[in-house]
Amino acid sequence: MKQRSPHLTKMLKIAGLFTFLALIPTVFAQDAAAVAEAAPKYADYGQFAESAGFALFTVNNLWLLVSAALVFLMHLGFATLETGLTQSKNTVNILFKNMFIVCVGILGYAIYGFNAMYPGDFNGFFALGSWFGVDNEDVTMMTDLYNNYTWWTDFIFQAMFAATAATIVSGAVAERVKLSSFLIYATILVTLVYPITGSWQWGGGWLSSLGLGGVNADGDPIGFYDFAGSTLVHGFGGFAALAAVLVLGPRAGKYVGGKVRPILGHSMPLALIGVFLLWLGWFGFNGGSVLSADPRGVSYVFVTTALAAAAGCVASIITAWALLKKPDLTMGLNGILAGLVGITAGADSVGMASSILIGLIAGALVVFSVLFFDKLKIDDPVGAISVHGICGIWGTLAVGIFADGKSFLNQLIGTLAVCATAFVVSFILALIIKAVMGLRVSAEEEEEGLDIGEHGNEAYPDFGAAHK
């Protein structure tokens, strides 16, 4: 709970009293407490800096900024993971897409997404927004009158989440998507579509007040719950990826004669580095979603996050070993990510034993899911659909199973609504782009590699020359 100095409290009471007396002739029917609340809490930022609550506010704000930096680091993790799990001839293309997505994600979220996702007065279903800027001298946006952090901190933390949703798609469509088409697709997805579904829950929209699961102890609807985005970020990205892959088709040579032909990634060290960077960043992803530096809340989330990731890894290793007869490193890496995605919806609200169980189920589930999509000839080079889409749904439903006071029915409705919307919009968007400008590179470019065909560059020119 925030604290303020006795001197400041006394000044505010006096100011409120005089304000009330002055307004009596015209607003005598207005409640006195409301008038006092309307009075500015701080005259300016300097006065806030001298208040007792400034130190706690600074710590909270700093932690959220550190968390935003950790989530930003996840984009390096996505880049190295996708690069490692794909062929060396497409490395520059993978890196270029990941570089672009984080930049367009920040700009798109600034220009439209932030205000659209968090509108001042939500209109019930479809969010509208405008330019994000505020006056840096506006004390109500830079002090605890706004929250435990400033407006700017709020923006940069949420912008990192927005960019993540589009990055998920990048790995699933790797090695055959036309660069210009993907850049347009990603820009529209992250700027216009993600804020809409996000606003349904985090922006105070219809999912946040969904009352089909009953009411809580205060008589309010239980609502849909997604702590840090198992559905709103990962499920959204996973099912957007599924739609894009269906329109795009599999890589050449992936499915031959009714059999799955593995197309091996070129660097397992890069893939492993990517997953551990993502795990590290996830401590900011989930830990920052506490939205303060509260010691109990942040430490609790750190532990549930770590336990689920570790359990996911172990479960995926055992499952893949039993099914494939060999210990598969890539399945173990995806098991870590599956556990992380699975715990994200309820990291603050499920118990420690439950977090392990959620991770174990997610780790086993991702193996079956990857093999299932391969049987359907749905080609996903990095397993993004399974990790983020399927395990995102599982993690969201798990909140309704393991967390107290949450509704399984609400969780089911919420995750289906978001994932179905992401799938349908992504499918239509991919079809339009395919019809207008083409979605896939030529067979010659795919064979030669997108690095040469799209960029006229190579990631490993010396290595390639030595082996020609």
Domains of the chain: 68-455 (1.10.3430.10)
CA-angle at 292, arms to 288 and 295, nearest 5°: 95
Residue 124: the pLDDT is 58
Residue ranges of alpha helices (H) inside 249-351 are 268-287, 295-324, 329-344
Count of CB atoms within 10 A of residue 323's CB?
13
Confidence of residue 419 (pLDDT cuts 50, 70, 90): very high
| pLDDT band at residue 210 using 50, 70 and 90 as cut-offs | confident
With a pLDDT cut of 70, the percent of the chain lying above it is 87
Tokens for 413, please give them. Answer: 């409705």
Give me the mean pLDDT over the 266-283 stretch: 98
Q: Report whether pLDDT(243) > 50.
A: yes
- Per-residue confidence (pLDDT) for residue 287, from 0 to 100: 98
Which residues is 177 bridged to in the sheet?
Answer: 440
pLDDT of 119 reads 78
Question: At residue 123, does pLDDT exceed 80?
Answer: no
Q: What percentage of the chain reaches a pLDDT higher than 90?
A: 79
CA distance linking residue 220 with residue 246, whole number of Å: 41
pLDDT at residue 467, as a whole number: 41
Question: Which residues have CB under 8 Å from 410's CB, separation 6+?
Answer: 207, 210, 212, 213, 222, 223, 224, 225, 400
pLDDT at 209: 87
Q: Is the pLDDT confidence value at 161 over 90? A: yes
**In the predicted model, is pLDDT for residue 26 greater than 60?**
no
183 membership: H or E segment, kind and range: helix 179-188
| pLDDT-derived band at 40, boundaries 50, 70, 90 | low
Q: Which pLDDT score is estimated for 376? A: 96
CA distance 183 to 107: 14
pLDDT band at 447 (very low <50, low <70, confident <90, very high): very high
Q: How confident is the model at residue 425 (pLDDT cuts 50, 70, 90)?
A: very high
pLDDT at 192 over 60: yes
Q: Is pLDDT at 117 greater than 70 in this prediction?
A: yes
| pLDDT for res 427 | 98
404's CB contacts (< 8 A; 6+ apart) are 349
* Pairwise CA distance, residues 461 & 41, whole Å: 62
Residue 17, pLDDT above cutoff 50: no
Find, among 110, 105, 117, the residue nearest to 134 by Cα: 110
Given a cut of 50, whether residue 144 has pLDDT beyond it is yes
Q: How confident is the model at residue 125 (pLDDT cuts 50, 70, 90)?
A: low
Mean pLDDT of the chain: 89
Give the mean model confidence (pLDDT) for residues 114-131: 71
Look at residue 30 in the predicted model and tell me its pLDDT. Answer: 39
Between CA 420 and CA 361 the distance in angstroms is 23
Mean pLDDT value of segment 302-311:
98
In this predicted structure, which of 9-13, 116-120, 247-251, 415-419 has the lowest mean pLDDT?
9-13
Inform me whether the pLDDT recorded for 283 exceeds 70: yes
Using the predicted structure, report yes or no on whether residue 36 has a pLDDT greater than 50: no
* Residue 367 confidence (pLDDT): 98
Q: Which amino acid is at 454?
A: E
Q: Does residue 451 or residue 461 have the better pLDDT?
A: 451
Stretch 16-37: mean pLDDT, rounded? 37
Provide CB contacts within 8 A for 183, sequence distance 6+: 97, 100, 104
Number of H helices, E strands in the chain: 20, 2
| pLDDT of amino acid 409 | 95
pLDDT band at 356 (very low <50, low <70, confident <90, very high): very high
User: Which tens digit of pLDDT belongs to each residue from 357-415?
Assistant: 999 999 999 999 999 999 999 999 999 999 999 999 999 999 999 999 999 999 999 99
- Quote the pLDDT of residue 109: 93
